[in-house]
A and B are shown apart, each in its own frame.
Chain A
Amino acid sequence: MRDFLELAVSATASGCVYALVALAYLVMTRPTGIINFAVGEWAAVAAFGGFLTLTHAEWPYAAGIAAVTAAMFAVGWATERLTVRPLVERGAPVLAPILALLGMLVVFRELISVGFGPDPRPLPQAFGFGRLEIGLVAGSYQSFFTIGVVLGLFALTWWFFERTLAGRAFEAVAIDRRAAALMGIDLSRVTALSFAGGAAIAGVAGLLVAPNTSAHYMMGLPLAVQGFTALVIGGVGRVEGALVGGLILAFAEQLTVRYAPVPPGLAMGVPLVLLILFLLVRPTGLLAAREARA
């Protein structure tokens, strides 16, 4: 039982990281329809930013995180301006920015690789490396920190979309772009903000996972795939879906490894199996959006 609870903490923490990446996708794809696979590389960029501020320059933890997250807002904004907006303004089909962003993915990865070299770089843990035991539940400080931060971010995002006028405007754009424009909602500002927000969210995911794995130039692609799988499982329609999807994916992965009597090679296939299953059987994910059109 103790093993299971310990595993639950680990799976929740991993699931939260996946959920954040899924949320990053969601925040961009809802108002624009663009699936931005570069979210993984954004996480990597932030991880290296964390290396620079926290390990190299030894800033206090909160200052470093805040600075990197703010920088990621700018990175997301810049990516949208340079890669997406020119295509949208020219009336290109939605596939065009998706492909352009795949190109940006490679650009980011090469910049990191050239700038930092191939060696992995360390990031400090938020509260040092230690073990926290709350009754029967136990896990690392970093796991609990991750869970706390992610839940907080989800609550913030939910509040933004449900309770602020700006967030409602995002929803409106997601529901009916043309009608939203007729209301006077500035579509290009919404797109720019969604990318800025998406980059910041993906950046936090990178900052949370890198203290455990190190910041390395190939970390982006697995995160992008894990986040995408979580998104498919949970559904694009609602913020909560990203969280549900991430947790389901992580629990499925880790419970299979720990308890299923299958060889490790097969256990690794769980995420892929889930992805294919959901795409075939329930492509809209578990949590459906509220009805879309009148």
Chain B
Amino acid sequence: MQHSSFARRARALVAAVLVAAAPAAFAQGSIRIGIITDRVGPAKPYAEPVTQGAEFAVRELNAKGGLLGRKVELLIEDDQGKPDVSATAARKLVDAGAAFILSLSLTPATQQAQTVSLETRVPHMTPSNSGDTLTTQISNPNFWQTGPLGSTQIATLLSYARSKNYKRVALVTDNSDLGQLINRFFKAGLEKSGIQIAAEEVVPRGATTAEPQMQKVRAANPDALFMTGVLTPENTLVLRAYRQLGLKAPILANYNLSVPQYTSVAKGLLDGVTFVDAFDPAKPEVRRFVEAYRKDTGSDPWNLHGYGYDGILLVADAIRRAGGTDRDKVREAMQATRNFVGVMGAQGSSYGFADGRRTGFDTNGMVVRVYERDVQGKVVHVGQK
């Protein structure tokens, strides 16, 4: 009798252990996270890798047992870069039960989508966008931004430039909304530091050359040239004209120049260009991320993938601390995020929303790197010191 009851208990115990160890044992329903991305419009080259990074993060999460024991499901909507479509997409995601929405599209589109998170109080965030106005134009307690702000970029670049004693500089941008926004912030930062703007030029989308603009820059003879545009073809034209016209002033560029396509499209034009980035290749979290991504997909990620990855992990962290998907609890948990170390950011930097801020990227978390020949080279400066 003792023997058989022991055997019975042992069998029950083994069965319980086996069930607990089974990987596909997700509890209850899934946790849904919504993504609004641009699949066909102008933001596509940037939104797509961010989306892929987010998708990878979700795969990783689910492989490790999910979030609070529940499977994470990504619902992806395409807003085509259009504001009204973005708002509709947000509403659709809310109706589908999304616990959190990530916006990866153009600044004006994300702005419009915020009207929905403002009204429905669904937690909403952009992990990659750097437009400063996203948290200032609408007072939306349900919205956070963890992309590197234009103001942080310029502050980082400026602190690097300060050591060089530039007196007069030129600004070159494009006519995209984000490019104009970043340009405004760079200009404000430069002027505040007492640096004179000797020339300010715009290369419009679809231009066949940037020579007239760069001729004007050459005539102004600046100490340095700041590139604040975000369109790859137009920036390539600027780099081409720069070399064609024999300009020598050093180039300092916004983080768009960290996108790896420049290595192939602007080959031969990049040597010596410094750019601000949030990706320190030597950081251990980055090395781990690159290896894991490479193993999972077969190709290497770059910085944009990291934003999407960090975005999902930040959201997951908040939901975990909130213990569920209750909107108020998640909002509180998100706002309480402190010292979260992600893939992006310099060594020693972290994400956090202290003092009621809704921008989470560490203001000292950006680095300045330089292109050596056509390869993204070493870090030459960190933060805003």
- Residues in chain A within 8 A of chain B (CB atoms): 3, 6-7, 10-11, 13-14, 17-18, 110, 113, 117-122, 129, 131, 140, 209, 212-214, 216, 218-219, 221-223, 225-226, 250, 253-255, 257-258, 264-265, 267-268
Contacts and interface: CB of A to CB of B under 8 A. Distances in A.
B44 A113 contact: yes
A121 B236 CA distance: 12
Contact of B211 (A10, A17, A18, A120): A10
Contacts of B219: 3
A43 to B, nearest CB: 11
B209 A10 contact: yes
Contact of A214 (B175, B215, B233): B233
A212 B211 contact: no
A14 B234 CA distance: 14
Nearest to B236: A214
Contact of B206 (A6, A11, A219): A219
A7 B208 contact: no
Contact of B208 (A120, A131, A213): A213
| Nearest 3 A/B pairs, CB to CB | A222-B206, A264-B202, A118-B44
Interface of B is mostly: helix
A1 to B, nearest CB: 13
B216 interface: yes
A120 to B, nearest CB: 5
A110 B206 contact: no
A140 B245 CA distance: 9
Contacts of B40: 110, 113
Interface in B199-215: 200-202, 204-209, 211-213, 215
Contacts of A14: 208-209
A265 B265 contact: no
Given A110-B40, A214-B265, A129 B243 contact: yes
A253 B215 CA distance: 14
Contacts of A218: 42, 205
A77 to B, nearest CB: 28
Contacts of A254: 209, 211-212
A120 B232 contact: yes
Contact of B212 (A10, A213, A226): A10
Contacts of B234: 213
Nearest to B45: A118
A221 B236 contact: no
Given A118-B44, A129-B243, A268-B204, A213 B215 contact: no
Contact of B216 (A216, A226, A257): A257
B42 A3 contact: no
Interface string B260-294: 01001101110000000000000000000000000
A253 B204 CA distance: 11
A235 B45 CA distance: 37
A222 B48 CA distance: 23
A121 B240 contact: no
Contacts of A226: 206, 208
Given A6-B215, A117-B48, A212-B209, A140 B232 contact: no
User: How large, as a class, is the contact surface on chain B?
Assistant: 35 or more
B244 interface: yes
Contact of A213 (B42, B233, B244): B233
Contacts of B68: none
A119 B259 CA distance: 10
Contacts of B118: none
A3 B215 contact: yes
B322 interface: no
B85 interface: no
A265 B211 CA distance: 17
A7 B233 contact: no
A226 B204 CA distance: 13
Contacts of A7: 211-212, 215
Interface string B325-344: 00000000000000000000
Q: Which of A110, A113, A257 counts the most B-chain CB atoms under 10 A from its CB?
A: A257
A119 B231 CA distance: 11
B213 A257 contact: yes
B211 A6 contact: yes
Q: Which of A212, A216, A254, A268 counts the most B-chain CB atoms under 10 A from its CB?
A: A212
Contacts of A258: 212-213, 215-216
B237 interface: yes
Contacts of A219: 206, 233
29 contacts: A3-B215, A3-B219, A7-B215, A10-B209, A14-B208, A14-B209, A113-B40, A117-B48, A118-B44, A118-B48, A120-B232, A120-B265, A121-B264, A122-B265, A209-B208, A213-B237, A214-B236, A216-B45, A218-B205, A222-B206, A223-B206, A254-B211, A257-B201, A257-B212, A258-B212, A264-B201, A265-B175, A265-B202, A268-B204
Contacts of B201: 257, 264
B233 A120 contact: yes
Contact of A216 (B232, B244, B245): B232
Q: Which of B45, B207, B209 counts the most A-chain CB atoms under 10 A from its CB?
A: B209
Contacts of A17: 208
Contact of B265 (A121, A222, A253, A255): A121
A44 B264 CA distance: 18
A119 B45 contact: yes
